[in-house]
Structure 1
Amino acid sequence: MKNLKIMLFTLAFSAANLTANAQFGGLKDKLLKVGTAQGAKALGVDKFLKQPEAISTNFEDVNREGEEMPGFNANAKFQPLYLLPKNPDGGFVLCEGFYEMTNKSYCLKAGTFAPSKGDGYMFAPVLGQKEEIVVSILKSAEKHPEVEQHDIQVLLWTIIARTKFADYAGQVKVTAIKLLTPKQLTQLEGGALGILPFDVMEKAKDQLPSGLKAVFEAENNIRQLVSSGNYTYADMEKYAILAGMAPPRADVPSGIWTKHPDGYYVRYFPSGYAITKVQVYVPKDLVANGNRLVYDAAGDIACPANTGSQRLAQTNEPLNANYSAKLSTICNPK
């Protein structure tokens, strides 16, 4: 019985996503000492610890070269981004100038604070073990406007919490089947985790850094809710979103511009986690000589400088779009 408890304890630590060594250096080695090497190997914990998070994007993935402070092009007049020509594979074909769009966005980090005034967000790509599935959901959602944003958010939280598809129940299972292919559904089993008992959770949390405890507990609570099949959006949100706010970082102010890898500039203004205003600046020389650029937000994350705040997946779905409006400049990309 004693050995069994040790192995269960070791398994609990594996759930804490210890691959975030850049943030919690040496934690993996400390936790592995809790159980025997034989126990870790028997449970496959040693293998699990090498696996990345479902979505691992963090502020260290932001390339800050070429960044500009909020006053950059302060007098610019922005046109609707959604009026730009559509790209057949998703997104919008960019033209010279300044564009903006208020779009649907999604929280990709349970157990963290919602965006607050003053938070600085910068561009980073969607990264992690489930990056392909998350991007597929965001792209598929564009083709299924009948699927509610809340249902998509619950599905994303379920995936971030590494819930086994076999444990999906209720509306989230319906949403997953509608937005994902059968092959992608089977991939939800890989790197997934079961529900951890209360006593194991409590012992595990005692050994975790404070910044990881809330995430660890939120993910387990989400797995419990999903498997029960009896939950509301408010139930899920209660665990995914922490009350209060994280203090903003002074060196990364709200409205800071990121120079995108494709050369244009982008910045984000979240309103909660479900709505983000994105602004894009495309320099004239960037699209000279017929150079084609596409803004496809489905692979983008508005990443907070404050690690206690939420990563926000972006979409190509505008909110309150006015399609009767016209661009004030000629835009004929090739």
Structure 2
Amino acid sequence: MRMKQLAGVALAALMVVGTGPATAQFGSLRDLGRLGARAAAPRVLTGSQPISTSLSDAVWGDPTKDGWTPPMPRRALTGLQRTPNGGFVLQPGYYEFHDQSYCLHAGTHGPGGGEGYLYAPPRGSAQDAVMTVVRNSVRHPEIDQHGIQTLLWAIVARARFEDLSTEHKAIAAQLLSPRQLATLNRSALDMLSSGPVANNLPSPLREVAQAEASLRSAFASGASYGELERLAVLGGRVGRGPGSLDIPGGRWSQHPDGYWIRYLPSSYTNTVVDIWVPPGSAGVGREYDPATHIAVPGDTNRQRLIQSGRPYQY
């Protein structure tokens, strides 16, 4: 009965989506044709990515604390007061939380090789929807992590809501508002997967664009989670990406709210988060909202990982 109710909510949201223009977010195909391949790619890729957070946004790394451990026992973050966002009210001390993390960069490689990760906030045209999914997921422990990851891949790949399975439409209806559901519509981005526009893209951008196009096609064909994962998370050997920085594993970031944080991912699905809140610091009493934290790797060929307030299930 509950699934039928959720499906009904999803159908209502689908009707809202169907009334909106397919290319409202990125401009029309005619615009792309008029601009030409060289001009079209920057216009579409710059400032309109669902999540655009990159290494250039991760400016809070603190190399002075490389190899440093806070001078007190580490405690479980879950012992702190929770917030409505699924976060934690910080108190003085050294804390650890093994969370469910999520891939937000399709067509790149997962964590590996001792790569360091830095704090950066979510940015992009879909940042509100992505943070809402992650926050609301804490109140829905019955939703499997794979279901949440699938929805996030749909958002970052700009998949149409109509192409999601009945199950994932129901998940989307639980975690997103009708207004946010109405934004899940495909645009002119398919032009970036092949043809003259794609041919003029730098190789890393072309690979990501093609991975997103493949994900959109996979959603439309009802692909399994394993098939989606193979498209979004690359395997095999990986070289350093352009613009990479040498960030040692375990580097702390000094959060602008006055505490230190570091990310130690085991895979894209789970990350150990350490937080240090010095006594008397500005971080005391502030909220750690995992949905506002994207762990950005020093290697641009690896995935950026949004954190969540859900504990990882072994």
Please state which band the TM-score falls in when normalised by the shorter chain. Answer: 0.7 to 0.9
- Matches of 1:94 and 1:46 in 2, distance apart? 41
**Alpha-carbon shift at residue 63 of structure 1 (Å):** 1.6
What corresponds to 2:127 in structure 1?
Answer: 131
Residue aligned with 2:303, SS: coil
CA distance in 2, matches of 1:162, 1:13: 19
Structure 1, residues 14-48: CA drift from partner, whole Å, max 9, x if none? 6xxxxxxxxxxxxxxxx94448x9xx7xxxx9975
1:210 pairs with 203, 215, 219, which one? 203
8 Å CA contact 1:268–1:279 kept in 2: the answer is yes
The structure number with the bigger radius of gyration is: 1
Where structure 1 has 5 or more consecutive residues not aligned to the other structure, the ranges are: 1-9, 15-30, 322-334
Equivalent position of 1:327 in the other structure: none
From 68, 90, 103, the equivalent of 1:72 is 68
Q: Is 1:193 aligned to residue 187 of structure 2?
A: yes
**What is the alpha-carbon root mean square deviation over aligned residues?**
3.1
Where structure 2 has 5 or more consecutive residues not aligned to the other structure, the ranges are 1-27
Letter in 1 for 2:279: K
CA distance in 2, matches of 1:197, 1:94: 46
> Does 1:108 find its partner at 2:104?
yes
User: CA offset at residue 213 of structure 1?
Assistant: 1.8
> Which of 236, 242, 261 lines up with 2:234 in the alignment?
242
Cα distance between partner residues in 2 of 1:75 and 1:245: 38
Q: Give the distance between the partners of 1:145 and 1:136, measured in 2 at CA.
A: 15
- Report what 2:263 is aligned to: 268
- The aligned counterpart of 1:28 is none
Match of 2:224 in 1: 232
Contact 1:95/1:287 (CA < 8 Å) preserved in 2?
no
**Matched residue pairs, number?**
284
Kindly tell me: are residues 74 and 278 of structure 1, through their superposed partners in 2, closer, same or farther at Cα, counting changes over 3 Å?
A: same
Give the SS at the match of 2:271. strand
Match of 1:315 in 2: 308
* TM-score normalised by L of structure 2: 0.81
Mean Cα deviation higher: 264-273 or 248-257? 248-257
**Shift of the alpha carbon at 1:202?**
4.9
1:13–1:204 contact (8 Å) kept in structure 2: no
Residue of structure 2 equivalent to 1:157: 153
The 3-state SS of whatever aligns with 2:257 is coil
1:305 aligns with 2:298: yes
Question: 1:167-198 CA distances to partner (integer Å, 9 max, x unpaired)?
Answer: 33443322212211212111223xx3268489
Q: How does 1:49-60 map to 2 (within 5 A)?
A: 51-60=47-56
Q: Is the 8 A contact 1:115 1:245 kept in 2?
A: no
AA partner of residue 265 (structure 1):
W
**CA distance in 2: counterparts of 1:12 and 1:119, whole angstroms:** 42
Task: Indicate if the aligned counterparts of 1:121 and 1:267 stay in contact, CA closer than 8 A.
Answer: yes
Q: Secondary structure at the match of 2:281?
A: helix
Equivalent pair of 1:262/1:293 in contact (CA under 8 Å): yes
Match of 1:282 among 273, 277, 282: 277
Separation in 2, partners of 1:163, 1:121: 28
- Percent of aligned pairs with the same residue? 36
What whole-Å deviation, never above 9, does each CA across 1:272-297 have from its counterpart, x for those lacking one? 10000000000112169xx5211111
Aligned residue in 1 for 2:21: none
Give the secondary-structure state (helix, strand or coil) at the position aligned to 2:275.
Answer: strand
